[in-house]
Amino acid sequence: MGSYTQIIYHIVFGTKYRIPAITEENQRKLYQYIWGLIKKKQCTLYKIGGVEDHLHILSSLHPSIALADYIKDIKTSSSSVIKEHNWFPEFKGWQIGYAAFTQNLADKKRLAKYIANQKEHHREIAFKEEYMNLLKTYGIDFKEEYLFEKEYN
């Protein structure tokens, strides 16, 4: 008998020090690269998007893959290709942590739209505020001083 799951994750992680490095010029290349990684892992990407200092990924996982390994692979591999091709000269890497929330299948369309509209969304709200709001919405206890690496100087 096979393994069957229907778990959708909304994953969020930022650039190291929240540097606004992910410029529009090469965003599509980055998103396509990550989509290829996800596909190779036999996972499904529903939506990817973000702005200069963070990404949102809405995807399911293959039953054989652990969430932490999945995110680590995406961050490590994409960081390498970004640096190799110099897609984003200001990019220093991804932040150490991440947030991941399980989602109801019925919310998939709404979340995909939310991710697609990140540029408009962040005209009114900063990433740090959005991140804290997500953690609060999903009932995750946190200490604000430990959310992000210290600012880059």
3-state helix/strand/coil string of the chain: CCCCCCCEEEEEEEEHHHCCCCCHHHHHHHHHHHHHHHHHCCCEEEEEEEECCEEEEEEECCCCCCHHHHHHHHHHHHHHHHHHHCCCCCCCCECCCCEEEEECHHHHHHHHHHHHCHHHHCCCCCHHHHHHHHHHHCCCCCCHHHCCCCCCC
Please give the model's pTM, rounded to 2 decimal places: 0.91
Q: Where are the domains of the chain?
A: 8-146
Record: fold of 8-146: Alpha-Beta Plaits (3.30.70)
- pLDDT value of position 150: 67
Q: How confident is the model at residue 153 (pLDDT cuts 50, 70, 90)?
A: very low
Q: How confident is the model at residue 76 (pLDDT cuts 50, 70, 90)?
A: very high
- pLDDT value of position 142: 85
